[in-house]
Amino acid sequence: MLIGIVANEPSGDLLGAALIRALRAQLPTARFVGVAGPQMLAAGCETVVNMERLTVMGLTEVLAHLPELLRLRQRLRDYFCAERPAVVIGIDAPDFNLGLERQLRAVGITTVHFVSPTVWAWRAGRVKTIRRAVDLLLCLFPFEAAFLTQHGINAVAVGHPLADEIPLTVDRAAARLALGLAPTAPVIALLPGSRVSEMQRLAAPFIDTAVRCHAARPQLQFVVPLVNATLRELFAAEVARRAPQLPLTLVDGRSRDAITAADCVLTASGTATLETLLLNRPMVVAYRLNALTYQVVKQLKLVKVPFIALANLLAGRELAPEFIQDRCRAELLAPALLHWLDHPAQVADIQAIYSQIHRELRVDAAAAAAAAVVDLMQRRAA
C-alpha cells in the first residue's frame, strides 16, 4: 500500500514522522513517499522532493520562489497521479498543500489535510477551497472541527501533540534549579515572540513591564527564553538601552523550563499561549502588529474570533487578559501580572480549567490521526 505524505517545514516534519509511525503500527506493509524532512526520513518515508526546497517563510520570499514552488507542486501532482496512492496527506502549509490536494482529488485520489487553516479566525472564504480539496481534515482542536463540520467539511479533532508531550503535572522546583533561579522568590517568565518582527515590537513593552514589576516587588526574578542567537542579541540590546540593572536570566530555547519555573507568564500571542496553558501557568497575553496591517485587519473586520490567544479560544473565555496594539503598554501589563501573584485562589481556579483542557487534548494525536486516516481508506475501499 502506497501512502503519499507532504510536509513543507520542520513542524510538519515532526507531525509527519509521528503520523507515519502510528500508521505503520496499523498498516505494517505501507510504503510512505512524498516530501520529507529528517524526522520523516528517519521514520522511513521516501522523498520525491527535498523538504528544504519548500521551506519558504514570508510573503516576499514566497513571491520570489513562486515559479519554482509551482513547478515542484506540478512534479508532485504528476508523481501521485502516476503512482495512484491509497491516500495523500498534506501537513499544514495550506497555500501549497490545499492546491495539490484539490488537483489530486479531482482525479479520484483520496486526500487528507492535517492541521486546520485558521479559517475560523480570518479569511473564512477559504472554507470553499478546503471543501473542494479534501476528503478529511484532521484538526488539532475541537472548536476547529465543530466550525468546519458546520461548513460541510468532513473534519475530526485528533488532539494536539504538545498535549501528549507535556505531562499533566510539572516540577517547578526542578525547573528553577535547572535555570539557576532562586527556589523561593517569585518568577515571571517573559516570552516576547519567536520572530524578529515580534521582538522589534514587543521587547520594549515587555522590558518596561518587568521594570515596573521589579520596582513594585524587588524580590522578583525574570526569565526570558529566546529561540535563537539573533533574537537573544536583539533582546539583550534593548535591555542594555532601557534597563541594564534589571535582574533578567536569558536562556537559549528552553521555553518549557522557563514557563514551568514561573509563577506567571507574559507572552506574545501564538503557540506559546497553548504551551503556557498546558504547563498550567496563569498568563497575560500581549501583541502588536504593524500599524498599517492592524488598521487593514480592523477596518475590513478580517478577524472573526473574540480572542487572539489560543488559551482563551480553548477555554471559551478570557482567562488570560489580552492587551493588543495600543493597549500593549507597561502601565497596563504590569498590574495584570502582579494581580496573579496576589490572587492565588483565582490562579487555582484557572489552573483547574487548564488541566481539564489539557486532558481533553491529550488523546495521542498521532494515533487518533492514524485511526481516522485508516477508517477513511477502509470506507473508500469498501
pLDDT more than 90, % of the chain: 69
Write down the pLDDT at residue 31: 97
**Are 66 and 197 in a shared domain?**
no
Same domain, 356 and 369: no
For residues 98-111, give the mean pLDDT: 96
Distances in whole angstroms, Cα of residue 4 to Cα of each of 41, 86, 124, 183: 13, 8, 28, 50
Q: State which residues form the domain around 354.
A: 172-361
Q: How many domains does the chain have?
A: 2
Q: Give 344's contacts (C-beta < 8 A, 6+ positions apart).
A: none
185 and 149 belong to one structural domain: no
Q: Is the pLDDT of residue 303 over 60?
A: no
pLDDT at 119: 72
219 and 318, same domain (yes or no) = yes
Same domain for 230 and 112: no
CATH number of the domain enclosing 178: 3.40.50.2000
> pLDDT tens across 137-186, in order?
999 988 889 989 999 999 999 999 889 999 999 999 999 999 999 999 99
Return the pLDDT at 109. Answer: 97
- pTM for the model stands at 0.81
pLDDT of res. 306: 64
Residue 165 is assigned to a structural domain of this protein = no
- Ranges 119-128, 135-144, 361-370: which has the least confidence: 119-128
**Do 56 and 120 lie in a common domain?**
yes
Report d(CA 102, CA 110) in Å as an integer: 10
Pair 21, 87 in one domain = yes
In a domain, 238, yes or no: yes
Q: How confident is the model at residue 58 (pLDDT cuts 50, 70, 90)?
A: very low
Same domain, 224 and 204: yes
- Residue 260's pLDDT is 98
> How far is residue 59's CA from residue 341's CA, in Å, rounded to a whole number?
41
The per-residue pLDDT for 59 is 42
Q: Assess if residue 284 is contained within a domain.
A: yes
What is d(CA 351, CA 186) in angstroms, rounded to the nearest whole number? 17
Q: At what angle do helices 196-216 and 330-342 cross, to 10 degrees?
A: 60
Q: Quick check: 234 pLDDT over 80? A: yes
Q: Tell whether 140 and 230 lie within a shared domain.
A: no
Between the two ends of the chain, the Cα-to-Cα distance in Å is 15
Same domain, 222 and 369: no
Domain assignment present for 164: no
**Which three cell numbers mark 265?**
507568564
Task: Please check whether residues 91 and 188 belong to one and the same domain.
Answer: no
More reliable by pLDDT, 235 or 58:
235
Of 242, 172, 166, nearest in space to 207 by CA: 242
What whole-number percentage of the chain has pLDDT above 70? 90
Q: Using alpha carbons only, what angle is made at residue 123 by residues 92 and 158, rounded to the nearest 5 degrees?
A: 35
Average pLDDT of the residues in 56-83: 75
Of the given ranges (33-42, 237-246, 293-302), which has the lowest mean pLDDT? 293-302
Residue 167 lies in a domain: no
Same domain for 261 and 113: no
Average pLDDT, stretch 102-125?
Answer: 85
Among the ranges given (18-22, 168-172, 246-250, 298-302), the one the predictor scored with the smallest mean pLDDT: 298-302
